[in-house]
Structure 1
């Protein structure tokens, strides 16, 4: 009898559990109704370099089920458009859930280019905010317009740049054009020399019929060359094709900065092919209470853009402090990085046992197709 009652109870419980539940995912969200910033009819002279940004802000939308809403700032070129197929979208801050978006002027420059606004031209962009819940995306009910002026730039950014011309080390033979170091997409650097009385230009290939570029004022322009009539000099070219900007820096000297002297001690001379050397230099390490003092880095004396006065740049180790190198020290120990003028930090050390009180060749290599570095070679 107990067995029958027990089974009946189980069947009764099982029957009671056969309740059906139905779930539905509510993807309803309200549109963004108010745009706070930037203001409508903003006039923006785009300056994409550096860290310049524009802050976008709006009132929150609300999901029907109370969960998070995601946002995108949508751009288009059509006044009164519905933003179903926007020209470009940017997710809001905090992985898309904030009611703000920090958008760089470089990104806005790219969007303006997509909108067909040419270099140095003026055009209009329209923007709103899309609110999304699940698969449901709703455009905002308010639209703002901004008038933008694009900076100088090129529709096609070169991936390689070379220097050629009668004023250059490679001469006018295109096959001997000197390759630039690429420091970022569309940005290039080269240490070299120019000979007075010649010309130079930049090209995007060293064969065939490449596109040519030249410098006018602070800007890069296409199809041309520069005459060089100044004194023969060592220079550093910095070219930014994203913003069509160019800087020519004269390298007056490269010297060994000796920490113990808090001043320069050894002078290097240009040796061609982006290298400077001090041959047969007698290195004598001063003796201090803690022993032989061997710390050094490099000081560049430069003149940027034909300025009225020269300035200093320091290059040294990426490490704040170093041990003396040995025969097994990695080549990266000697790599050159921009550092501060601090008397003691970011310095290398001469190898006392092999270099102190001996003739040494100190050589700095600023060649484009390898890391910037230096060597100390005892005789």
Structure 2
């Protein structure tokens, strides 16, 4: 009879497993109601999009009900004016990782939605929006939808994944395989530090091949796309070039100088001449400042620029907020650089190692698009 008890036990185990699975499914598959009211923005609201990274529009709706008394999650969906949301143009998870019945949606995302709806850059057009309520595997679309009139940004709908500079006026010449990369510094935003030759043509392209897209600017303000476009500058100089494809803008800042800023002195104590391809470097002697508590060795970098004819001072400092000198076990990130939003004497600085004090030291600033912005300090 042992076989009999074994069969009974096995059946009981299977029944228990099935019961547990059913209990799990009760949570994930609990019925959820459709959202019945969309509160904001109001139907037909007209919105003029702004290029500011903080510009956003708030969407809000009535909470859905869940059969087990739990909470629903939500997604905002966008479609063309008369679309049925079966293939939405864009989907945005609500705030608080989908748990909020509201969503703060940036103007840059709304600009992408408008582009997918066929609204031309700088033009106005209408889109529709609604909300999915979600619980586990169940998703229910609201029967309510509202329209939104959008005045778009003058940006690109198809933003390049990479960007390079090449041409007679560029540092690496016309060989496309040697095109110099930009650095991606934000969503659709690129930056490069490079030298340009006056009167010689160069282009921006999205790939190192002859079939890449070509971007250019006629006025050094707006970026355009055309197969035959090209750029020139009036002055041979080192430039910081920033391109924002979200709003089709380009800015040039001439880099007049780069130097080591010694915080105890509140001044640049070593000029770093430009060496090419985003590198400034020099060898010099840095003497630490004697204080009652010891030798002060704090430093960062400073560059003098001219943007739109206006002189501007910019500092470069640490990414890590360090307050100690490096040692043999310090990570490469100790030397990583960021461009600081404000000028100061003491903030966002590094500390030299003791071996730098009074000895010839090679210091380099490296701002290249295919790696982290960084710097190097090598005592001789």
Instruction: Give the structure-1-normalised TM-score.
Output: 0.81
After superposition, the Cα gap between the structure-2 partners of 1:28 and 1:378, relative to the gap in structure 1 and judged at 3 Å, is closer
Aligned to 1:10: none
Q: SS where residue 106 of structure 1 aligns?
A: helix
Deviation (angstroms), 1:135: 6.5
Are the counterparts in 1 of residues 269 and 286 from structure 2 also a CA contact under 8 Å? no
Q: How far apart, in 2, do the equivalents of 1:85 and 1:156 lie?
A: 19
Q: Does residue 154 of structure 2 align to residue 149 of structure 1?
A: no
Q: Does 1:250 align with 2:254?
A: yes
The correspondence for 1:36, drawn from 26, 34, 39, is 39
1:54-203 matched pairs, under 5 angstroms: 54-62=57-65, 67-79=70-82, 83=85, 86-131=88-133, 138-203=140-205
1:290 aligns to 2:293 (yes or no) = yes
Q: Which residue of 2 aligns with 1:3?
A: none
TM superposition shift of 1:236: 0.9
- Flag structure 1 segments of 5+ consecutive residues without an equivalent: 1-22
Of 221, 225, 237, the match for 1:222: 225
Instruction: Note the C-alpha offset of 1:114.
Output: 2.4
TM-score, length-normalised on structure 2? 0.81
- Is the CA contact (8 Å cut-off) linking 1:48 and 1:109 kept in structure 2? no
Give the CA deviation at 1:67: 4.8
Shift, 1:289, TM fit? 1.5
Whole-angstrom distance in 2 between the partners of 1:32 and 1:327? 59
CA contact (8 A) 1:167 1:196 kept: yes
Superposed CA deviations along residues 253-294 of structure 1, whole A, max 9, x for unmatched, are 112111111222221111112111223x23222322222222
In 2, Cα distance between equivalents of 1:68 and 1:331: 45
Deviation of the 1:326 alpha carbon: 4.2
How much has 1:78 moved relative to structure 2? 4.0
For residues 90 and 330 of structure 1, the distance between their equivalents in structure 2, rounded to whole angstroms, comes to 37
TM-aligned CA deviation for residue 295 of structure 1 = 1.3
For residues 185-226 of structure 1, give each alpha carbon's deviation from its aligned partner in whole angstroms, at most 9, with x where no partner exists.
533221111122212211122332322111244321102111
Structure 1 stretch displaced more, 116-125 or 295-304: 116-125
Decide whether the 8 Å contact of 1:299 with 1:315 is kept in 2.
yes
CA change 1:132–1:240 in 2 (3 A) is: same
Is the deviation greater in 213-222 or in 250-259? 213-222
Pairwise CA distance, 1:30: 5.4
Structure 1 residues 74 and 185, CA gap change in structure 2 (3 angstroms): closer
Deviation of the 1:313 alpha carbon: 1.7
| Aligned-residue offset at 1:27 | 6.3
**Paired residue secondary structure (2:209):** coil
Give secondary structure in 2 for the equivalent of 1:198. coil
| Aligned-partner Cα distance in 1 for 2:366–2:243 | 20
Shift of 1:69: 4.3
Secondary structure of the equivalent of 1:72? strand
Once the two structures are superposed, the pairs formed by residues 194-213 of structure 1 within 5 Å of their partners are 194-213=196-215
User: Does structure 1 residue 370 correspond to structure 2 residue 367?
Assistant: no
Change (3 A) 1:301 1:33: same
**Partner secondary structure for residue 276 of structure 1:** strand
Q: RMSD of the alignment, in Å?
A: 2.9
Whole-Å separation in 2 of the counterparts to 1:321 and 1:31: 51
Whether the 8 Å CA contact 2:116–2:157 is kept in 1: the answer is no
What's the secondary structure of 2:217's corresponding residue?
Answer: strand
> 5+ unaligned residues in a row in structure 2: which ranges?
1-22
